[in-house]
Copies of this chain bind each other. A is one copy, B any other.
Amino acid sequence: MKLVKTVAELRKEIALAKRQGLSIGLVPTMGALHAGHASLIEAAAKENDFVVVSVFVNPTQFAPNEDLDAYPRTLAADCVLAEAKGAAVVFAPSPKEMYPSADMTWVEVTGNVTKVLCGRSRPIHFRGVTTVVSKLFNLAQPDRAYFGQKDAQQVEVLKRMVKDLFFPLELRVMPIIREADGLARSSRNTYLSEKEHDAALVLNKSLREAEAAFAAGERDAAKIVAMVTAAIEKEPAAEIDYVELHGLPELTPAVSPLKGTNLLAVAVKFGTTRLIDNVVLEEK
């Protein structure tokens, strides 16, 4: 496994892999790799000859009041995990490498898909994500790129970007990986005190209840949202940012009775830590 820190070095590695006719898998991450990332790298290594894991805490997707500086940075451990799971290259550039100009070139997906949920709480977030992922796509030129369903809205935004801009690659989405107690894996889980961690279990628990209600025939969007909201509100340490249900893929308003595929997504603060989780409610 090679650790590469510059655009020029990465380009050399990719050119070499392309000349050898290798298929390329890209796993874009912000580092602090956990079992969720591990599952993405494993899938990439299974489906591609040459796997690039990028580790870059992207400043343009953080607002000034967010946790850019506090975000965990564990490059040495990330390299060990990436290598163990089959990565050929870890690309860990500086912000200066990724943003070479004084002024920005933005890639921005518009519409409902970037306006609701985290798009409302974090208005500049997805523009930063789509911009940096475009850069990574052009650098790594992957056949397949891997993202986790934990960031369900990000997945929908990137699907739209790939569709609209005709990126020549397949976007692969991998299931949410959870701790044994049900908490969705996130690099931000390390911020949680033990008490907050226990409180945060209400997210998975309430989503499982909603899923069960849906499976039992509940098709009233407002009732499902109210059920999850009530369950989370019972947890005193939880401060709800949103509990919402939207139609996939464009995150259009959910219509009752629910039909097709809908996303039930939550964002909740525990202390200063904001966590997200979701479940797809799909008619079989």
Q: Which residues of A approach B to under 8 Å, CB–CB?
A: 7, 11, 99-113, 130, 134-135, 138-139, 141, 160-161, 163-168, 250
Is the beta-carbon distance between A107 and B104 smaller than 8 angstroms? no
CB <8 Å contact, A164 and B108: no
| Most chain B Cβ neighbours within 10 Å, of A11, A134, A166 | A166
CA distance A139 to B101 in the complex (A): 25
20 CB contacts below 8 A, A to B, read: A11-B168, A100-B163, A103-B110, A104-B110, A104-B111, A105-B107, A105-B108, A105-B110, A105-B161, A105-B164, A106-B106, A106-B108, A106-B110, A107-B107, A107-B108, A107-B134, A108-B108, A134-B165, A138-B168, A141-B168
A101, A107, A161, A164: residue with the most chain B Cβ atoms closer than 10 Å: A164
Tell me the bound Cα distance from A23 to B216 in angstroms.
57
> Which residues of chain B are within 8 angstroms of A112 by Cβ–Cβ distance?
103
Contact status A138-B110, CB under 8 Å: no
Nearest-neighbor residue (CB-CB) of A99 within chain B: B164
Contact, CB under 8 Å: B109 / A107: no
CB distance from A283 to the nearest CB of B (A): 23
Q: Which residues of B contact A135 (CB under 8 A)?
A: 164-166
Distance (whole angstroms) from the CB of A136 to the closest CB of chain B: 8
Would you call the interface of chain A mostly helix, strand, loop, or mixed? mixed
Q: How far is the CB of A96 from chain B (nearest CB, A)?
A: 13
**How many whole Å from A147's CB to the nearest CB in chain B?**
17
Complex Cα distance, B145 from A107, in Å, reads 20
- The interface residues of chain B lying within 8 Å CB-to-CB of A168 are 11, 138-139, 141
Report the bound CA distance from A254 to B168 in whole Å: 41
Which residues of the partner chain B approach A7 to less than 8 Å between Cβ atoms? 166
Contact of A113 among B99, B103, B163, B164 (CB under 8 A): B103
B165 touches A138 (CB 8 A): yes
Contact of A139 among B11, B139, B166 (CB under 8 A): B166
Of B99, B101, B105, B111, which one neighbours A101 at CB under 8 angstroms? B111
Other than A105-B108, A105-B164, A139-B168, give 9 A-B pairs with Cβ distance below 8 A.
A100-B164, A101-B163, A103-B113, A104-B110, A104-B164, A105-B161, A106-B107, A106-B108, A138-B167
A56: shortest Cβ distance to chain B, in Å?
13
CA separation between A11 and B100, bound complex, in Å?
A: 31
C-alpha gap A250/B101 in the complex (Å) = 10
Residues in B with CB closer than 8 Å to A166 are 7, 135, 138-139
List chain B residues, Cβ under 8 A from A160. Answer: 101, 103, 105
